[in-house]
Amino acid sequence: MQESKWRILSRPLVDDNPLTLQILGICSALAVTTSLDTALLMSFVVVCVLALGSGSVSLIRNHLPHSVRIIVQITIIASLVIVVDQVLQAYAFELSKRLSVFVGLIITNCIVLGRAEGYAMHNGFVASVLDGIGNGLGYSLILIVVGTIREFFGKGSLLNVQILIPTSQGGAFEPLHLMLLPPSAFFIIGGIIWFIRRKRPQQVEKPEFTLRQLQEESK
């Protein structure tokens, strides 16, 4: 039952999206999506870390003792994140200041460790890298959608280019300040999850508990 390479790459985009199906990595998704440019940079960084992390773990998976596997995975991921953070501070200084701690916090992003432990430990190098990139892109897709909505309705701009002129500058657009606050990302991500599950009902989870009254009524 070998999955095709294309399937490994595309499955995490919608069918098995780490954010909307597994509900992982929500914290950073709330924090970095106030504007599209930070969302794009964060996406890029997470794709890099996921691909390299899964790839490296896959390479040494046959030599990795079971007892220390998690700490070794975390060491690899942490090193990669530090390297990426250093590169960002050198070549994208302004943006890296705005991402502040959230680049460093990729270390604790459940998606990265989840793919290393859940996939790369049992699969070959190429498949693991593709799985890493796929999951990174799945995360990126949601980040970009949320970032676009929040920046457009919160500031009337995209990638810092003003599209709608706000009322403060004589235009007709009233910025929705809620969009710049973390709760708005919750609402948007919730909306996306609802939309995907409506289109793909197989993703809907069975309720673990039902109210007794409902059960009696249905009898």
Task: Give me the residues that bind other proteins (CB under 8 A), please.
Answer: 60, 63-68, 71-72, 75-76, 78-79, 82-83, 86-87, 89-91, 93, 100-101
List, in sequence order, every beta strand (DSSP E) within 68-125.
none
| Shortest distance in whole angstroms from residue 195 CB to other proteins | 32
Give the nearer residue to other proteins in terms of CB position, either 53 or 156: 53
For residue 41, which phi and psi values (nearest 5 degrees)?
-65, -45
* 42 within 8 A of 165, measured Cβ to Cβ: no
Angle (CA) 97-107-60 rounded to 5° is 135
| Shortest distance in whole angstroms from residue 93 CB to other proteins | 4
Give the nearer residue to other proteins in terms of CB position, either 11 or 61: 61
| Shortest distance in whole angstroms from residue 51 CB to other proteins | 16
Give the nearer residue to other proteins in terms of CB position, either 53 or 138: 53
Angle (CA) 175-178-183 rounded to 5° is 155
| Shortest distance in whole angstroms from residue 32 CB to other proteins | 13
Give the nearer residue to other proteins in terms of CB position, either 64 or 110: 64
* Number of CB atoms found within 10 A of residue 18's CB: 24
* 143 within 8 A of 43, measured Cβ to Cβ: yes
53: left (phi over 0), alpha (psi -120 to 50) or beta: alpha
| Shortest distance in whole angstroms from residue 84 CB to other proteins | 9
Give the nearer residue to other proteins in terms of CB position, either 84 or 149: 84
Strand partners, 166: 173
